[in-house]
Amino acid sequence: MPAYLDHASTTPLHPVARQALLVALDEGWADPARLYREGRHARRLLDAARETVAGVLGARPDEISFTASGATAATLALLGTAAARRRAGDAVMVSAVEHSSVLHAARHHEQAGGRVVEVGVDRLGRVDPAAFTPVPGTAVASLQHANHEVGTLQPVAEVAERLHNAGVPLHTDAAVTVGHIPVDLGALGADLLTASAHKYGGPAGVGILVVRTGTRWRDPRPGAGPDAAAGGFPDVPSVVAAAAALAARATEIAEEAPRLAGHVAELRRRLPSLIDDVELLGDPAVAPTVGHISAFSCLYVEGEALLDGLDRAGIAVSSGSSCTSDVLTPSHVLVAMGALTHGNLRVSFGRDSTQADLDALLDVLPGVVRSVRASLGAPHLGA
């Protein structure tokens, strides 16, 4: 039986978003920067979307911008704050397990002559808040709300407090959490937050960038200014759909969370008895995690062969193993955690996931692991 269990990569369009998108395609097509009737109409839809998103995230509408993707939002958050606070210093702090968009932005900052301070994580993928004490000359720090590969939640509020004591703003990449768990900017204490609509049931092509009032930030793109939208013509219908999906998610996640966390708990409970030499990553019992993502690594197995075997059975998951990417290096998240990088799989559940999806995975996976091990000549390799 087929099962889509890669909702952390992307998840199907939420029915409410589909409905909103269809309406907005007809009503929000005009240029919201124009002052005539059609333009004003598109502007009103855009403003309403901004209000909706602000309401869900505990922000003010004028603190919300929409970008072309979550990765773009994260890049702008980090580089825009580093640029606006250049006089405060040239150092950018990031955790070692950030999404590649944040690490790429940090590398860009470094190549432009700035400094980057990378903060390591423990075996569960967590940063130690004490390690996030800013070095002198820190312009901005970035710490994800939860990790995209293993689901571990980061101590964002504690880190924000530590940074604020030193006058340093914090960006949090909340692409994993927004639309999945309650995210409140007041409680998080972050100065900038970014998210991605397609991760929670909105359409692709919409990123959310929140810059709290009082944060020194300027759009680093050419042509940006107080009266100029450097992002180009906004996709109003998609933004409307993204806001509608977020509002819908806010009403349903409380009921959904225990169900998905139950799937994850069952997966983690059954895996070690079904497969020899499997290492579960993260640990919801010790370090809080998001309820819909879980990862593990199987010793003596290629990640790519696992994905192929599962795909043949119609089961979609993802892997952080090196052979599954176009580069030969393994996932930087797994390396930073000291986890086994080969034979890695990430399973992630979504709003339409069922027990049958989990059963399908657990029916097929042990046989796939056995056959990959046999093909590599490693059927029984004890210590």
374 binds another protein (CB under 8 A): no
Q: How far is the CB of 176 from another protein (least distance, A)?
A: 23
Q: How many CB atoms lie within 10 A of CB 289?
A: 26
The single residue of 117, 157, 280, 323 carrying the catalytic annotation is: 323
122 binds another protein (CB under 8 A): no
- The number of residues in the chain equals 383
Contact window for another protein (CB under 8 A) among 6-14, 217-225, 231-239, 331-339:
331-339
State the Cα–Cα distance between residues 212 and 59, nearest whole angstrom.
7
Q: Which residue has the tokens 């895996």?
A: 271
330 binds another protein (CB under 8 A): yes
Is the CB of residue 15 less than 8 Å from the CB of residue 252?
A: no
295 binds another protein (CB under 8 A): no
Using the minimum distance from each CB to another protein, give the nearer residue, 69 or 331. 331
State the Cα–Cα distance between residues 82 and 126, nearest whole angstrom.
24
Using the minimum distance from each CB to another protein, give the nearer residue, 173 or 302. 302
Is the CB of residue 194 less than 8 Å from the CB of residue 99?
A: no
378 binds another protein (CB under 8 A): yes
Q: Which of residues 250-279 bind another protein (CB under 8 A)?
A: 277, 279
State the Cα–Cα distance between residues 87 and 208, nearest whole angstrom.
27
Q: Is the CA virtual torsion 100, 300, 306, 273 positive or negative? A: negative
The backbone torsions φ and ψ at residue 101, rounded to the nearest 5 degrees and listed phi first, read -60, -40
Using the minimum distance from each CB to another protein, give the nearer residue, 106 or 334. 334
Contact window for another protein (CB under 8 A) among 85-93, 164-172, 197-205, 329-337:
329-337
Instruction: Number of residues interacting with another protein: please give it, by CB under 8 A.
Output: 26
Encoding tokens for residue 357? Answer: 């999806």
342 binds another protein (CB under 8 A): yes
Instruction: Please select the residue that binds another protein; options are 322, 324, 348, 353, rule is CB under 8 A.
Output: 322
In the residue annotation, 298 being an active-site residue is answered as no
323 binds another protein (CB under 8 A): yes
300 binds another protein (CB under 8 A): yes
Order the strands of the 207-211 sheet from edge to edge: 64-67, 207-211, 192-196, 170-173, 138-142, 91-95, 115-119
Encode 335-349: b = buried (16+ Cβ within 10 Å), e = exposed. Answer: ebbebbbbbbbbbbb
Return left, alpha or beta for 261; rule: phi > 0 is left, psi -120 to 50 is alpha, else beta.
alpha
- DSSP secondary structure string for all residues of 239-261: HHHHHHHHHHHHHHHHHHHHHHH
Q: How far is the CB of 329 from another protein (least distance, A)?
A: 5
Using the minimum distance from each CB to another protein, give the nearer residue, 230 or 378. 378
317 binds another protein (CB under 8 A): no
The secondary element (H helix, E strand) that includes residue 140 is strand 138-142
Instruction: Please select the residue that binds another protein; options are 338, 356, 374, 375, rule is CB under 8 A.
Output: 338
318 binds another protein (CB under 8 A): no
Contact window for another protein (CB under 8 A) among 39-47, 68-76, 217-225, 341-349:
341-349
228 binds another protein (CB under 8 A): no
List interacting residues with another protein (CB under 8 A).
277, 279, 297, 299-302, 321-323, 328-330, 334-335, 338-343, 376-378, 381, 383
Catalytic residues: 323
